[in-house]
Amino acid sequence: MQFVNMGESCLKMSDESKKSEDWDNSELVERPLESIDEILKDETIDQSTKISILLGRINKSITFSGPIPHPTILKGYEEVLPGSADRILSMTEKEGEHRRKIETELVKNDNIRSYLGQIAGFTIAIVGLGGSIYLGINDKVWASGIMSAGTLTGLVTVFVTGDKERRIQSEQDDQDK
């Protein structure tokens, strides 16, 4: 394999390109070319190699994802303003701590709300069933039946609806991951 070094980028030449060149395959050929004009004007490079070099320069891209800038960008900040890299890292750490604190509070509040909902549901069920028993004891059979049927229907509806919502939420959480 043969490489053409162009400052920061390097071009690996294909076997077909090497056949058309008189370059020695064992050495690294350095060609510090500063601009596209210099590449185009250089007569020591054949046309297909010029195209490959230019496409290599044009299509070069770097992707980076994370809570902090890419290390080279962070280094650039540090060169422009000494101490800025440390400030950026510190700011990122504080933001992470803040986010975790908010998520902890959200989970805690959801648990409290769920617990209070269970207490309210239990209270309504006891009152409804207790009322239907009271009506049944006092010879109000139809009212007792209607009240117990309404209470049980409400409880079943809440449990079925709640279970369905939990499944939908679980599926959405799985899709988000």
pTM of the complete model: 0.47
Q: Where are the domains of the chain?
A: 2-58, 102-176
Model confidence at 3, pLDDT cuts 50, 70, 90, reads: very low
| Cα distance between residue 38 and residue 118, in whole Å | 76
Model confidence at 47, pLDDT cuts 50, 70, 90, reads: confident
Buried b (16+ CB within 10 A) or exposed e, 64-83: eeeeebeeeebeeeeeeeee
| Cα distance between residue 40 and residue 59, in whole Å | 17
pLDDT at 48 over 60: yes
